[in-house]
Structures are given as C-alpha cells and as structure tokens.
Structure 1
Amino acid sequence: MGKKKDAKAAKAVEDVFSSEESPLSVDVRTALRARTAAGEVLSPPDVDADGTPGFEGNKAEGRAALSARSARLAELQELLYAAGRVDQEAAPSVLVVVQGMDTAGKGGLMRTVAGAMDPQGVRTAAFGRPTEEELEHDFLWRIEQQMPEPGQIVVFDRSHYEDVLVHRVEGLSPRAEVDRRYGAIREFEEAAVAAGTRVVKVMLHISKQEQGERLLARLENPDKHWKYDPADLDTRAKWDEYQQAYAIAIVETDSDRAPWYIVPADRKWYSRLAVQEILIAELEDLDLRWPASTIDAEAEKARLAAL
C-alpha cells in the first residue's frame, strides 16, 4: 500500500504542471545568463549554488515539473530532427556545452535531459585526455569532428573549454597559448552560429561543500567506487584557481550569440530542470513547423488496407 500511496502522491504533484507551460516564474535564460542586463559578467562565486531561481517549489515538485516538461522537449526535438531529414541544407542544429567541477552532475544531466529525447537525433560526446592523434592537431580539431549535423542536437560532456580551464590552472600550455585559445574559441563558435548551429553553454555551479559530500558518498558506497578518481582531490585542492579560470573563460567567450549560463547545481533536480527549460526555450525560438507532406495519405491507406 505504501508504494501505491507514494505513486499516487507523485502523480498528483505531476498533474499540477503542464507540458506546454514553463514551471519557472521567469525566463530561465535571463535568470541564469552569465551576462546581466546591465552588461556585468558574473563569475561562479557570484551565484548561489544552492539557489533555485524562478522555481518556488520543493524537490518533489521540481522532479514532477521535469517529468511533465520532458514531453515538450521531445516534441520540439522531433520537429528539429524532421526538419533535418527533409532539408539538410536549411535545417538548424543545436550544440549544448556542459562544463562543471567533478560531481557537478554532468552525467545525470545527460541521462535525464538528453535521455528524454529521441536518440536518432541526439548525440552526446565526451572529451577526456587527448589521444596522440588529437595532439597532432590544433585543440579544436577533435571538437570539429563532433559538431552537430543539421537537425541534430549534440551535447558535449566537457569540451574545448578544458583546453583553457585545465591548461590555465595546471600549466599544461604557456599562458600566451591559453590566451590565444580564447580568441580561437570565440571565432569557432561564431562560425558555428553563422552556419546555423545554436550554441548553448552551461556551467553547472556546485559549491565546495556539496562537492565534498558527494565525493564522500562515493567513497562510502562500494558500488560507486568506480566513479571515484583520486585525481578529483588534486583538482579540489585547487578549487579557487579553477573558479577563477571559469570566471576568465566566461568573460572571454560569452556573447549574445553563444551565451554562457551559470546553473546552480547543489540541487540536482533544479539544475536538470533549468537546463531542460533553456533547451526548450532555444528550440521554441526556432519556430519550427512539421514539414509539408509529400505523400498521398489516402492512397497509401488504401494500399495498406489492400495488403
């Protein structure tokens, strides 16, 4: 009886939310944009990692809203995919760049938000340590290989920003080279937008305290040891340096055509809901329509009945 009661309560909460209406009281892109309306560029420490901008509900309500709105996201993604199937040259595409400190929730975001869409038109790409072949090329070469085709959404789990974040903090490249890369990234993203790709950049902002709790939880659960990397503590030891590196990267590469969003990530349910709403808003802006039919449906129904 307990499970049935919990399921009934969850359904009652979910029914409060509509798949057609945003559950947030403000435009999520305005609320979470790194560059404010006054032109000031925020850095991660300026944002409350435990906040839920635009959403006044609790965890259960947040999860219910996420579930309810997944239908809208799936519909919009199907519209995009259909456009790509019909007109490869004219169809737009979407690139979602997801960055964040270890345990910020990148993997869960992939499963929950990207997983709600049709895998035919959605792809994820993860970027770790470069291979020998990749090191023989410019740092953007491997990124170019994974860019979305028309009608497609691609989500980057880490990205070309590793080549300015990690390289700046760990000294893997000379500072002059890191500075050059900011300009190269701006040019690369501008070219992508000009070619028809929507570029959305998300920094999942987790607090140092919350990260510590998540790392400890992994260590205390043997089933999660596979997710733990001792190197995570080496990175954590340079927390302030990485926060500064993020701040510099955001200032250097934020633009109206390739914006950065700083998403509070201490509450996983909120960060997933917020990113989903950003993606929905971007797809709605494309104002896509179902492609005009090229078949005689009545004739095909007659053929089907005959068979």
Structure 2
Amino acid sequence: MKYLVTGAAGFIGFFVVQRLVAQGHNVIGIDNLNDYYDVNLKLARLAELKPLAGFTFMQLDLADREGIAALFESQQFDRVIHLAAQAGVRYSLDNPLAYADSNLVGHLTILEGCRNTQVKHLVYASSSSVYGLNTKTPFSTSDSVDHPISLYAASKKANELMSHTYSHLYQVPTTGLRFFTVYGPWGRPDMALFKFTKAILAGEAIDIYNNGKLSRDFTYIDDIVEGVMRIQNVIPQGKGVDAQGNAWTPETGSPANSSAPYAVYNIGNGNPVKLMDFITALEAALGVEAKKNFMPMQPGDVYQTYADTQGLETATGHTPAVGVKEGVARFVEWYKAFYG
C-alpha cells in the first residue's frame, strides 16, 4: 500500500517508516524539520531513512493548507499515520501559540486530505496528557478526559474531537493513540532520559521535580511501534450496537468508540515506574551516580501516568515486552555510540 507518515524525521515516525518499508509498502514521509529540538538529530534520522527503497521524503509543514491538499491529491494514499505535532507539555506553558498551527490547523489539514481522497484509515498520535486532573488509575479510555492541565494536552483532546467529527460526518475511519512516555534510542532531547543522560555524563546535576515523587508509564519505542503497526490494520467500523445488543449511544457507550468509524486506544507499558527507580536504572547503565537537584512540582505536570492497555491488547494481541532496565541500557548504548 501507499502510506503517508507525518513527522517522519521524528522519534516515533523514524521507526514506523522503517517498519513499513521493511514490509514492502511505499511511504511518503513529511516533516517541517523545525528547531524545537536539535535539527541535526532529525537530519541524522533522515540520513538513515533516505537510502531505503520505497521511501520518499518531502519537507512540508502541516499548516501549509495548499501544500498538504496537493500532496494528498497527487499521491492518493491508502493509509495515513499522523505523528507530527508540536510536542512538549512544558514548552506549551511559554509558547502556547506554537501549538495552534501544528496541532490544530495541522490536524485539520490531514483530516481534510483524508476526507477528500477517501483514505482508508487515519491513525494519529494523541497523548496520555489528555487525562489531566484524573486521579483514578489506571487511566482508561472509558474515562472522561475533560480537564486537561496544559495547552498541549488540550490540543490533543481537540484532535480526538476533530477526528470524531470527520468520522461521523464523512465516514473517515480514524484511530487515536494516547502515547505514554515513549523512550529509547534516537529519542527526543527534550525528554527526561535524554536530558538526564547528557547532564550526568557532563558531571552536571539533574533536576528532579516534585522531589522525585512522580511515576510514569515509561514505554519502550519498540513496543510503541509494534502497537502502531498492529492497530493500523484494525480499521474501526463504528459501533452499531454494544456488547449487550443495545444501540450504541454516548450515554451508554464508551468514549473510546462511537457509532462512527472512530476509536481511541491507550498505548503504554501498563506498569508505572517511580521516577527515582528510573534514575537508578540510568545510573546503573552509565556506571555513574547522578548529582541530584530536587525541585518543586512544575505547572502542567501530572503526578502519575498509568495506562490501562486492555483495549489495545484485545484489539491486537500486543503486550509490551521491554522493561525499564533493559530499555534504558539500550538507550545508553545508542547515546554513547551516537555522541561519542
């Protein structure tokens, strides 16, 4: 098939492109190569991808309405895996307008392209941050997500709402994936593991928020990509009736599905890890004890993330396999090789 992967020079997009090409698909990858983080890392990922048979890269911004429309019209994609976005909870506190073009206008241009060219399935990145003020754990896709605490989270909730609208109005099959703290080789420099590793090796202190009393559902990149690859073959059909044979309604059905061809899944490890245990695993992998600077809680942060992954497991049979000690060690091995 022919695929569009947005954010192809990004962390998850880089690995998804590799998997699709390995399966024999034709992939057009787009990315605007912005400088939110080190462009050289994005270019290094692209350097790995460009020699692959079946892959073509185009530098294109999601907010370029005419450019995106022309791309869809000329290529007639079978499926779209939409991973590009302005990322970062903390960055959204200081630069809120950066999220309007990429995450709102950009998502709409992708939806319009899918509608106008009858794309058979749109899989897009949502985020665990949509759970906001929720305290019931594990976080379930059947829970309300009406109280985000960062603009980034609000933009991802908006993506889910926009997608449902297009699924309902135009029968565009859409699947949203709420990613939980993805880490691993080729990861993003703005994420904790990357920042901690760089600081520790430089002999600098690491900033630990809420005095380390945080936990995250750290999910290794291979488990994320496996979930993406499997779920893109599970095309939502719409829920005409529920499990008891009753007509699906918003009042009685789960927010994770609909009478429209729409679905949302958590994609995480399902096993939250204390931040201090994560740091201990990193110290062991580096063979260096970190200098620690304990800090108060940051605005926009949540105390815990914990994914209920039953929906994805039921739909795909995929269960995450890589634990934190192994995953962190693999990251450190890559980091040392890449940065010397």
TM-score normalized with structure 2 length:
0.29
More strand by share: 2
Name the structure where helix makes up a greater proportion of residues.
1
Return the TM-score normalized by structure 1: 0.31
Rg larger in structure: 1
Higher relative contact order, chain-length normalized (CA < 8 Å, sep 6+): 1
